[in-house]
Structure 1
Amino acid sequence: MLESLSPAPFLEPDPRPALPDWARSASSYSALFPFGTPPEPPAPEGAMLSWSAEPERDARGSRGDAADSSRDPLTGEPFDRLQVLPEDGRRIYRKAFALAERQIRIEICVLEDPKILAGLRDALDRGVRVRAIVDRGKYEALEPERQNLAAEFVAAGGELHLSNPIFPRSFPKTILIDSKLLVYGSACLDSTTFAQYRDFALSSTDPTVLRTIRRLFANDWAYSAPVGQEPPAFNPTPPVEPPELLIAPRNAASGMADLYQQAERRLDVYTEELGNAALESELVAAVARGVIVRLITPVQVNGASEEQNRQHTASIQALAAAGVRVRTSGPLESFDAPYMHARAARVDGRLAYVGSISLSPDSATLNREMGLIEDDPTIVAQLGRQFVKDFRRLTPAA
């Protein structure tokens, strides 16, 4: 991570008390929470849930740097670096679940894959509290997700919320393990992802990032609702630090534009969907100042409307005409020729962005999304090598 000032730390209650009345009440979420002061239920009496408070104790009762906790529980080696899906499979997720001692907090688009759910059940069997916020629209549209979550997650003791509908989509793709490890990236946790989608996953132990993601989950848990219950009318976003952490709709659009503007020689971008004219303009501006800009995207967006795909195609053509070197995947897709679902960028071999934020019309400005900019040379190099492999294999835009 780039160096930055750390915000005040954050206290959370022990996540494993018996469920209180609100968790069993069908009307508990009918009242509106005061804007900007969301409680995170369930909280023992006297627990503080402000955005600035005391440090959270880890499972051993100690305080301080979380970095030592990001090691493989079996080998003791440093945790996984950049994971390239589908080739690397579920390894980073299953290893992360095995590290959990107290709680797992997930905020994601889709949580359907049976093998992922089996890893969460293992954690529940160890007494780990597991909570998940999934995208409301995807949940309502995907019967396999509803069935698998009911049978393999909720029935095993997992706690499930649906995202607040003020966000057209809620796709942060964050998995917080206790308060020591964040797994994030562009991957939804469904079976299709591990079969034929190009995605990236990374981990972070940066204390400032962990604190912010804890705040974000506490906030979004309070402003979302269990299945069948009405969510609150609003869903604010807590303060975001460090500046390299991008949370939509709070600071994602400006953060992505700032990243693209730093390019001096080469800018490589993955995006599943196009249509954000402001961010696309930054790519064109980079070309105009002599930067080589390369873009990887699908020829058509899976699951998108006809109008969305018309806009996507128009953006591909306009960017190519402006000098962006565009390559597309599809329409056929497989494990060896995956669908380009990734959202990532590499700037001059110095910076790497990986996350859920894309160049779609809503991703940076209306959705709930998350991404992180890194200057770690290993991550930057890994992303660069994978981009070159994918770019060489794909078809130039017509």
Structure 2
Amino acid sequence: MTHEDQSLQTLQFVRQLAEQALSRSAGAPLVPGNRVRLLYDSADNFPAWEAAIAGSGDSVFIEMYIFANDQFGLKIRDLLVEKAKAGIQVCLLYDWLGSWRAHLAGFFKPLIEAGGQVRAYHPPSLGGGLSLLGRNHRKMIIVDRRQLFVSGLCISASWQGRPDQGLAPWRDTGLALEGPLLTPALAAFADSWASCGEPLDDGWLQASSDELCGPASARLIATTPSTARMMRLDLLVASFARRTLWLTDAYFMATSLYLSALQQAARDGVDVRLLVPRSSDIRWIATVSRTQYRPLLEAGVRVFEWNGPMIHAKTAVADGRWARIGSTNLNLSSWLVNRELDVALEDEELAGELAQRFLQDLEQSTEIVLRHERRRPVPRPVRQEKRQRGTPKEMAISGASAAARQAMRIGDALGAVVRGSRSVESSEAPAFLSIGVALCALALAIAYFPWLAAAPLVLLLAGSGLAVAFKACGLYLEKRRKKQQSRQASGGDDSDRTPPADCQ
């Protein structure tokens, strides 16, 4: 075996290790043979959803953070009512907090009366405890176990803007998919459905067809509380990127670990760009996001703010080959607490399309620079330089060198985890001063009004205590039922049995 053959084998081994790392981090294998279409804003996504639901002949499964009681929400609900009356299996899982107005208004009653199955994720309850902090932030629609829609959009007219007031639609991204990835999508929906009641019948867990129907390879990353699947994958992609890493995020509040990964990538020559909202529907998040700009800018990361009313997309594209679309924001809530759903694509055509859309979005954005003034950037699309392919030996050496630099970036990121800290930069002085003043003000307020600290603590302890007590009560009931079932199985006398008491 020649030295060149050995180098090529080494490069292939490194690629296999990278694929294994991505699969294990995401908790999802790479599934080939999918047909994917990218959908932009409500103009693309909403009509596609309506058409798919209207044409359904088997089933409609929806997992949605916000199902609003507005014009578009009514349109989709009425479509579902029509399908449920026609005998179509309709299962709707909405998040209670995201859809609380519709929930309290009885918005879903017509669908239940028509035969649809409707469940709310984590409604307030005495037994909920701290688990109520975790929400179902997914946006997924499965039609006839054949079509999958994943996006950052919810079923709400907010995404359509307010033309009468001159407000443009929200900028967001989704996708429509057909192919073998439907099977893990159905499993993800079934897992969320079972977390709120009786599980879905096994007959609904099989996709209508597992045949290969397109060229795209994809992973379905279904994050559940504390799994951190998407966080691990985001960190790996930031470490593996060699040329470009372009991120769009609606609520950017990254951890020091992820900020370090972006900084190291930029210092290593990767073109790292971040697009976030200038104005947000949650105003304080945009303010917090700005406190993280300066360390990124000093490392060479380019930061842009969307000029429109709101950019809600959660996308990433790396090296013109890898892309991610879904519901996960770059913050701890999405990474560690919520149920989230994303699709990671490994397809040059789709990633290239998303990269071009990113550059188009930058033309409607303002770049943030280190100077005090803000300037509108001149649109400058990235040129795809035609590079001559070197010899196999040169390619192997180049790949090994890039892999070594990436390994160093991963090591730096892991080091931050082990140390549990990062160095504080002088540019962060204003942010720390504002935090310190706020803490001192809070301390003074509590000194004069102790109930400000006592009341939340009492509520937290009481809620947690009741949750644990109700859990214990349920376990006692379950234990008693099992004993009675055991006695019945052994042929005991029915007269000796006492019916289980309800735990009120």
Mark yes or no: TM-score above 0.5: yes
Q: Which SS does the other structure have where 2:173 is aligned?
A: strand
Alignment-derived partner of residue 286 in structure 1: 265
User: 1: distance between equivalents of 2:132 and 2:218?
Assistant: 24
CA distance in 2, matches of 1:152, 1:269: 41
Q: How far apart, CA to CA, are the structure 2 residues paired with 1:123 and 1:317? A: 52
Residue in 1 that maps onto 2:296: 319
Letter of the 2:183 partner, please give it. R
Alignment equivalent of 2:38, drawn from 62, 74, 82: 82
Name 1:237's counterpart in structure 2.
Answer: none
CA gap of 1:89–1:355, structure 2 versus 1, over 3 A, is closer
Partner SS for 1:88: helix
For the pair 1:154 / 2:112, whether they are aligned, the reply is yes
Aligned length: 302
* Equivalent runs, 1:141-290 vs 2, <5 Å: 143-144=101-102, 146-147=104-105, 149-150=107-108, 153-164=111-122, 165-166=131-132, 168-195=134-161, 196-207=169-180, 209-224=181-196, 244-249=219-224, 250=227, 251-277=229-255, 278-290=257-269
Q: Is the 8 A contact 1:244 1:255 kept in 2?
A: no
The 8 Å contact of residues 268 and 345 in structure 1, kept in 2 or not, is answered as: yes
Q: What displacement does 1:85 show? A: 0.2
Contact 1:276 1:362 in 2 (8 A): no
1:94 maps to 50
Deviations 1:72-119 (A, max 9, x none): xxxxxx8x7111003325122112213422211111111122233233
Match in the other structure for 2:334: 363
**Aligned residue number for residue 12 of structure 1:** none
Residues 119, 317 of structure 1: alpha-carbon distance in 2 compared, 3 angstrom cutoff: farther
Aligned residues of 2:67 and 2:102 also touching (Cα < 8 A): no
Q: How far off its partner does 1:381 sit?
A: 2.5
Quote the RMSD (CA, aligned, Å): 3.0
Cα distance, 1:173 vs. partner? Answer: 0.7
The partner residue of 2:305 within 328, 342, 351 is 328
Structure 1's 96 and 378: CA in aligned 2 closer, same or farther, altered over 3 A? farther
**Structure-2 change in CA distance of 1:127 and 1:194 (3 Å):** farther
For residue 312 of structure 1, report the CA deviation from its aligned partner: 1.9
Secondary structure of 1:244's aligned partner: strand
Aligned to 2:411: none
**Hey, what's the Cα distance between the residues in 2 that align with 1:109 and 1:177?**
18
Deviations 1:315-344 (A, max 9, x none): 2343233321111125x62xxxxx110000
Counterpart code for 1:91: P
Cα deviation 1:50-87 (Å, max 9, x = unaligned): xxxxxxxxxxxxxxx998xx9xxxxxxx8x71110033
Change beyond 3 A, Cα 1:220–1:321? same
In 2, distance between residues paired with 1:386 and 1:311? 26
Cα distance in structure 1, aligned partners of 2:57 and 2:104: 27
Q: For the Cα contact (< 8 Å) 2:320–2:355, is it kept in 1?
A: yes
Task: Tell me if structure 2 keeps the 8 A contact 1:163–1:225.
Answer: no
Structure 1 290/170 Cα, relative in aligned 2: closer, same or farther at 3 Å? same
Pair 66,384 (structure 1): closer, same or farther in 2 beyond 3 Å: closer
Choose 1 or 2 for highest CA Rg.
2
Aligned to 1:381: 352
Q: Which amino acid aligns with 2:281?
A: N
Asked if the contact 2:102–2:108 (Cα under 8 Å) also holds between the matched residues in 1, the reply is no
Tell me by how many angstroms 1:187 deviates: 0.8
Please list the CA deviations of residues 151-180 of structure 1 after superposition, one character each: whole Å capped at 9, or x if unmatched.
553344332211134552211111112322
Pairing 1:139–2:139 present: no
Cα distance in 1 between the residues matched to 2:232 and 2:98: 27
Cα distance between partner residues in 1 of 2:53 and 2:97: 26
Q: How far apart are the structure 2 equivalents of 1:159 and 1:199? A: 29
3-state SS in 2 of match to 1:81? strand
3-state DSSP of counterpart to 2:282: coil
Distance verdict in 2 for CA 1:86–1:205, change over 3 Å: closer
Which secondary structure state, in structure 2, belongs to the residue aligned with residue 133 of structure 1? strand
Q: Could you say which structure has the greater relative contact order, defined with CA pairs below 8 angstroms and 6 or more residues apart?
A: 1
Structure 2: distance between partners of 1:318 and 1:123: 52
TM-score, normalised on structure 1? 0.68
Residue 130 of structure 1 pairs with residue 96 of structure 2: no
Deviation of residue 292 (structure 1)? Answer: 0.7
Instruction: Report how far residue 280 of structure 1 moved.
Output: 2.9
Q: For 1:98 and 1:376, how far apart are their aligned partners in 2?
A: 30
Confirm or deny: 8 A CA contact 1:345 1:352 kept in the other structure.
Answer: yes
- Give distance in 2, aligned partners of 1:66 and 1:101: 26
Q: Does 1:301 align with 2:301?
A: no
